Amino acid sequence: MSSSRTDTGRAPRGGIDRAEIPALVARVCAGERRAVAAAVTELERMSDAAPDLLKALHPHLGHALVIGFTGPPGAGKSTLVNAVISHARGEGRRVGVIAVDPSSPISGGAILGDRIRMTSALDDDDVFVRSLASRGYLGGLSPAAVRIIDAFDAAGFDLILLETVGTGQNEIDVAEVADVRVVISAPGLGDDIQAMKSGLLEIADILVVNKGDRPGSEQTLQQLAGALSIRAGIGIKPPVLKTTATSGQGVPELMQAMATVGDRVAALGSEARRRRRARYLIARAAADLVADRIKAGQGGALDKLADAVLAGDLAPSAAAAKLLKD
Amino acid sequence: MSSSRTDTGRAPRGGIDRAEIPALVARVCAGERRAVAAAVTELERMSDAAPDLLKALHPHLGHALVIGFTGPPGAGKSTLVNAVISHARGEGRRVGVIAVDPSSPISGGAILGDRIRMTSALDDDDVFVRSLASRGYLGGLSPAAVRIIDAFDAAGFDLILLETVGTGQNEIDVAEVADVRVVISAPGLGDDIQAMKSGLLEIADILVVNKGDRPGSEQTLQQLAGALSIRAGIGIKPPVLKTTATSGQGVPELMQAMATVGDRVAALGSEARRRRRARYLIARAAADLVADRIKAGQGGALDKLADAVLAGDLAPSAAAAKLLKD
């Protein structure tokens, strides 16, 4: 055990003793890299000690701003996140990154594997990157992400960047969990992207047209602004920015926009933001419970209800209420 | 009312009398285009007569094969669906199409608007296309799609093609509803697509690399085959096909693969397939119920539970169980 710990320079495989928690939390709060890695591992795997660890972290939370980066494939999210990391580091800010890889529950692991692309960040003690398998395309963001946010927050990271690869339930979840939602698009992604953006518009605090050096970026910007103008909801219209992540063009303006939204969010108080994340955890757990009940009802209660729905004797909503009641 | 009906050549705005149902169903079963349009409208809007209409359609179901087309943006789904329609018509088969547009619940309408692209189908009495707004990026496929499937089935359509634009919850839902799931990809869509495909692999009966005339299509094919080889689940490995929808290349092979999967599915019996769709309707309704309860609990019961979760006194799953119980 201890030799593998030294060999890999990574955290032990979870399972610390409860008695070790106070010391671990003190080291996490001091920003000690190895302690953060150990805490993250405990929380990711939801070890026996994890509930007590979360409780011990609780008094040390509330500093970090969580920024979600979502958007359609091909928009250059990863490159833009890297540019944001560099910029934040240039300002002396410490950055935690949670990168969500959709993985197949069937293959059991992330197909992308570890992300080598963040090599520049790997030599920097004030950037901590953790890749996290999602719960598959169907399952969405792992609740572990919310727990890891607490560890990063206690460790004094100023910014926590939550990046999804791909689309689907992950993006929806990231929108729920983040304090600031950045939706990234790019020119030339085709018609389907336009349709998708119309959905993502609902959740955006900031809209970014990346690959701003490509032809058509101005047109994409105008289309987004146009789509926004028919967003009927009250509230503040999100700014639409143009970036070129590869050159860094527009990234200072993005940082500024993130800070502006961050100030607005900070005014809500950190308890309100954390409560929102707790509500999200409960909602996800409730959805899981319902899914379990549906699975358990197959071949039995659920099939009988399904037959009644098929015969037109029962509305699906009435059948659902019955299923939840029993 | 009746004048607008004549003007647009479309169905009346719902609300037929129950006494009219037997006559309507007889006309639907005769494949009368206007009757199908009227029935679809009733079912889409879930009019007062809709439950009785569904019941009356019930004895006339079981013929159609429902084929879902999903995949990342830019893969050329729409063009491929058009090619499949042409091919099926060439074989004398009748085709119903349900095209799902993600729409913004905020703007209240489909941004894409009516799809003009299917003009060649519009002159053909044996192709019926209905665009359907999704329930937004967050909400997924409308349950109306499942009801419309029944109307198309009773009308004697051989194939019902269910196509999503964009990604997200829609795709997941289409996978649940369809008898045959075709997942479409294309070369040159970037790294994120690779990640997304790893999730879509789980639900595919047939994998298609479209835009087969583009450079890199062979490589994409190999990557998909490679990803499939680590799909550990039992069951039948989906075939990986190459198509060029614009020229029709590979479409006959796709039709053949769809027929093969269709035969396998038909062996399950139509009741089993319809029961699966009914289970899906119940599951969606249950999820809606839970979402309603969570919404209703905000500011009250849910916030108390969230605080207990934050303090580490309650696990999210225990909080969820409490929420569902009350």
Tell me which chain A residues have a C-beta less than 8 angstroms from the C-beta of B324: 286, 289-290, 324
Question: Are B317 and A289 an interchain contact pair (Cβ–Cβ within 8 Å)?
Answer: yes
Which range has the top average pLDDT, A140-144, A287-291, B43-47?
B43-47
Percentage above 90 pLDDT, chain B: 36
Confidence class for position A66, pLDDT limits 50, 70, 90: very high
A243 touches A261 (CB < 8 A): no
Question: Are B165 and A298 an interchain contact pair (Cβ–Cβ within 8 Å)?
Answer: no
Mean pLDDT (whole number) for B56-79: 87
Confidence class for position A202, pLDDT limits 50, 70, 90: confident
Question: Are B196 and A302 an interchain contact pair (Cβ–Cβ within 8 Å)?
Answer: no
Q: How many CB atoms lie within 10 A of CB B23?
A: 11
Q: Does B12 touch chain A (CB under 8 A)?
A: no
Nearest partner of B302 among A179, A270, A281, A147, judged by Cα? A281
Chain B stretch 18-57, residues whose beta carbon is closer than 8 A to a beta carbon of chain A: 51-52, 54-55
* Nearest CB partner across the interface for A306, out of B108, B190, B278: B278
Question: Are A287 and B284 an interchain contact pair (Cβ–Cβ within 8 Å)?
Answer: no
Q: Does B200 touch chain A (CB under 8 A)?
A: yes
* Nearest CB partner across the interface for A202, out of B137, B167, B287: B137
A74 touches A45 (CB < 8 A): no
How far is CA B315 from each of CA A147, B72, B308, rounded to the nearest angstrom?
Answer: 12, 36, 8
Nearest CA distance, A261 vs chain B (angstrom): 21
Comparison of pLDDT for A82 and A100, the residue scoring more: A82
The pLDDT, as a whole number, for residue B206 is 94
The region, left, alpha or beta by phi > 0 then psi within -120 to 50, assigned to residue B240 is beta
Chain B stretch 120-139, residues whose beta carbon is closer than 8 A to a beta carbon of chain A: 136-138
Q: Does A193 touch chain B (CB under 8 A)?
A: yes
CA torsion B84-B89-B93-B94 (nearest 10°) is 90
Task: Check pLDDT > 60 for residue B122.
Answer: no
User: Which of A211-215, A231-235, B36-40, B287-291 shows the lowest mean pLDDT across its residues?
Assistant: A231-235
* Nearest CB partner across the interface for A324, out of B106, B289, B305: B289
Hey, what are A309's tokens?
């729905």
Task: Check pLDDT > 50 for residue B267.
Answer: yes
Task: Check pLDDT > 70 for residue A36.
Answer: yes
Residue of A nearest to B292 (CA): A283
Residue of B nearest to A228 (CA): B107
* Nearest CB partner across the interface for A73, out of B104, B112, B196: B196
Does B62-267 carry CATH code 3.30.1330.60? no
Q: Does B272 touch chain A (CB under 8 A)?
A: no
Nearest CA distance, A134 vs chain B (angstrom): 10
pTM of the model: 0.71
Task: Check pLDDT > 60 for residue A150.
Answer: yes
Question: Are B74 and A171 an interchain contact pair (Cβ–Cβ within 8 Å)?
Answer: no
3-state secondary structure of B14: coil
Q: How many CB atoms lie within 10 A of CB B222?
A: 12
C-alpha span between B72 and A167 (Å, rounded): 9
User: Which of A311-320, B56-65, B77-86, B290-299 shows the lowest mean pLDDT across its residues?
Assistant: B290-299
Q: What average pLDDT does the structure give for chain B?
A: 80
Chain A stretch 141-180, residues whose beta carbon is closer than 8 A to a beta carbon of chain B: 143, 165-169, 171-172
Question: Are B287 and A288 an interchain contact pair (Cβ–Cβ within 8 Å)?
Answer: no
Nearest CA distance, B3 vs chain A (angstrom): 32
Tell me which chain A residues have a C-beta less than 8 angstroms from the C-beta of B311: 55, 58
Q: How many CB atoms lie within 10 A of CB A308?
A: 18
Mean pLDDT (whole number) for A218-237: 75
The pLDDT, as a whole number, for residue A118 is 45
**CATH of segment(s) A61-267:** 3.40.50.300
Nearest partner of A129 among A168, A91, A101, A103, judged by Cα? A101
The pLDDT, as a whole number, for residue A171 is 65
Percentage above 70 pLDDT, chain A: 78
B56 touches B63 (CB < 8 A): no
Tell me which chain B residues have a C-beta less than 8 angstroms from the C-beta of A315: 51
The pLDDT, as a whole number, for residue B227 is 74
Nearest CA distance, A55 vs chain B (angstrom): 5
User: Which of A12-26, B33-47, B97-111, B135-149 shows the lowest mean pLDDT across its residues?
Assistant: B97-111
C-alpha span between A139 and A182 (Å, rounded): 22
The pLDDT, as a whole number, for residue B39 is 95
Return all residues near B318 (Cβ < 8 A) that are at least 6 apart: none
Q: Does B223 touch chain A (CB under 8 A)?
A: no
Task: Check pLDDT > 80 for residue A68.
Answer: yes
Nearest partner of B181 among B204, B212, B152, judged by Cα? B204
CB pairs under 8 A between A and B: 279
Question: Are A107 and B230 an interchain contact pair (Cβ–Cβ within 8 Å)?
Answer: yes
The pLDDT, as a whole number, for residue A131 is 81
Taken in order A156, A115, A162, A176, is the CA torsion positive or negative? Answer: negative
Mutate to test the interface with B, among A52, A170, A189, A192 (most CBs of B within 10 A): A192
* Nearest CB partner across the interface for B306, out of A137, A165, A275: A275
Q: What is the pLDDT of residues B279-324, one digit of tens each?
A: 888 888 888 888 888 878 777 888 899 988 888 788 888 998 888 8
Which range has the top average pLDDT, B66-80, B247-261, B282-296?
B247-261
* Nearest CB partner across the interface for A112, out of B52, B195, B230: B195
Mean pLDDT (whole number) for B83-102: 88
Question: Are B137 and A172 an interchain contact pair (Cβ–Cβ within 8 Å)?
Answer: yes
C-alpha span between B75 and A192 (Å, rounded): 9
ipTM of the complex: 0.73
> What are the extents of the domains in chain A?
1-60, 61-267, 278-325
The region, left, alpha or beta by phi > 0 then psi within -120 to 50, assigned to residue B15 is left
Q: What is the pLDDT of residues A152-183, one digit of tens each?
A: 999 999 999 998 765 556 666 777 889 999 98
The strand order across the sheet containing B65-70 reads: B127-133, B95-101, B159-164, B65-70, B180-185, B206-209, B240-242
A138 touches A172 (CB < 8 A): no
Q: What is the pLDDT of residues B196-238, one digit of tens each?
A: 555 667 778 999 999 999 998 998 888 888 777 766 565 678 8
How far is CA B259 from each of CA A267, A279, B67, rounded to the nearest angstrom?
Answer: 59, 46, 10
* Nearest CB partner across the interface for B231, out of A106, A172, A305: A106
Residue of B nearest to A322 (CA): B286
CA A216 to chain centre: 29
Residues in chain B: 326
Residues in chain A: 326
Hey, what are B3's tokens?
């004048």
3-state secondary structure of A160: strand
Q: What is the pLDDT of residues B162-198, one digit of tens each?
A: 987 655 566 667 778 899 999 888 887 765 555 455 5
Q: Does B111 touch chain A (CB under 8 A)?
A: yes
Decide the pairing of beta strands B127-133 and B206-209: unpaired
Nearest CA distance, A278 vs chain B (angstrom): 5
Chain B stretch 307-326, residues whose beta carbon is closer than 8 A to a beta carbon of chain A: 307, 309-312, 315-317, 319-321, 323-324
Tell me which chain A residues have a C-beta less than 8 angstroms from the C-beta of B168: 167-169, 171-172, 196, 199
Percentage above 70 pLDDT, chain B: 78
C-alpha span between A287 and A291 (Å, rounded): 6
